[in-house]
Copies of this chain bind each other. A is one copy, B any other.
């Protein structure tokens, strides 16, 4: 039986997308931001819409460098991934603080995060919605995946301190791409 539900809590219903780590670099200093508000926008080349608050240090770095890497963490580094969202990179080096390892990317200056099973090098494709909605559209220009990870235990934010861990994968006949 469905009941009326406060609009202020709606985000916890819908935002159960992947928790990802956005890595950036500015003048040789690396940074990491935790993000769960993003969506695919097109298949190939892959376009990804990302909501990055203008209160985040990463917002400024992306406006300046027009690049980032979207890294996908799994349960093994869940605490580190979430912790990256709890401090500002303007003051601290989060790679050092949380024991994460930057690795050289091939197409962008932002670093890959070695401990994530997938890393997507991105160029900023459209910042016209950044002012009004904090929405940046990125084009993935190079992708790296540990294909040995068959059923990644990805993290999905349910709001507040609740994170859903990816369960089993089922197959359903689908014409979805």
> Which residues of A come within 8 Å of B, CB atoms?
1-11, 13-18, 20, 34, 36-49, 51, 70, 72, 78-79, 82, 85-86, 112, 117-120, 129, 133-135, 137, 140-148, 153-154, 156-177
Give Cα A131–Cα B112 distance, bound, in whole angstroms.
Answer: 33
Query: A10 touches which one: B10, B39, B143 (CB < 8 A)?
Result: B143
Chain B residue nearest to A175 (CB atoms) is B86
Give Cα A39–Cα B20 distance, bound, in whole angstroms.
Answer: 13
User: Quick check: A167 and B169 within 8 Å, CB to CB?
Assistant: no
**Given A145-B2, A156-B166, A173-B161, A17 and B39 touching (CB < 8 A)?**
yes
Seed contacts A3-B144, A10-B140; 10 additional CB < 8 Å A-B pairs: A2-B119, A4-B142, A5-B118, A7-B143, A16-B17, A38-B39, A47-B133, A86-B173, A129-B129, A158-B169
- Name the B residues within 8 Å of A41 (CB-CB): 37, 51, 133-135
- Name the B residues within 8 Å of A174 (CB-CB): 82, 85-86, 160-161, 163
- Name the B residues within 8 Å of A17 (CB-CB): 16-18, 39
User: Quick check: B133 and A2 within 8 Å, CB to CB?
Assistant: no
Give Cα A86–Cα B176 distance, bound, in whole angstroms.
Answer: 7
Q: What's the nearest-Cβ distance from chain B to residue A122, in Å?
A: 10
Give Cα A116–Cα B43 distance, bound, in whole angstroms.
Answer: 28
**Given A11-B46, A86-B175, A176-B157, A148 and B1 touching (CB < 8 A)?**
yes
Please name the 10 residue pairs, one residue from A and one from B, whose CB atoms are nearest each other, closest first: A167-B167, A17-B17, A39-B39, A5-B145, A2-B144, A10-B46, A5-B143, A82-B172, A8-B44, A165-B167
21 sampled A-B residue pairs with Cβ under 8 A: A1-B148, A2-B145, A5-B118, A7-B140, A10-B46, A14-B18, A16-B17, A16-B18, A17-B18, A37-B41, A40-B51, A41-B134, A42-B133, A85-B176, A129-B129, A157-B176, A160-B176, A162-B169, A163-B174, A164-B167, A164-B168
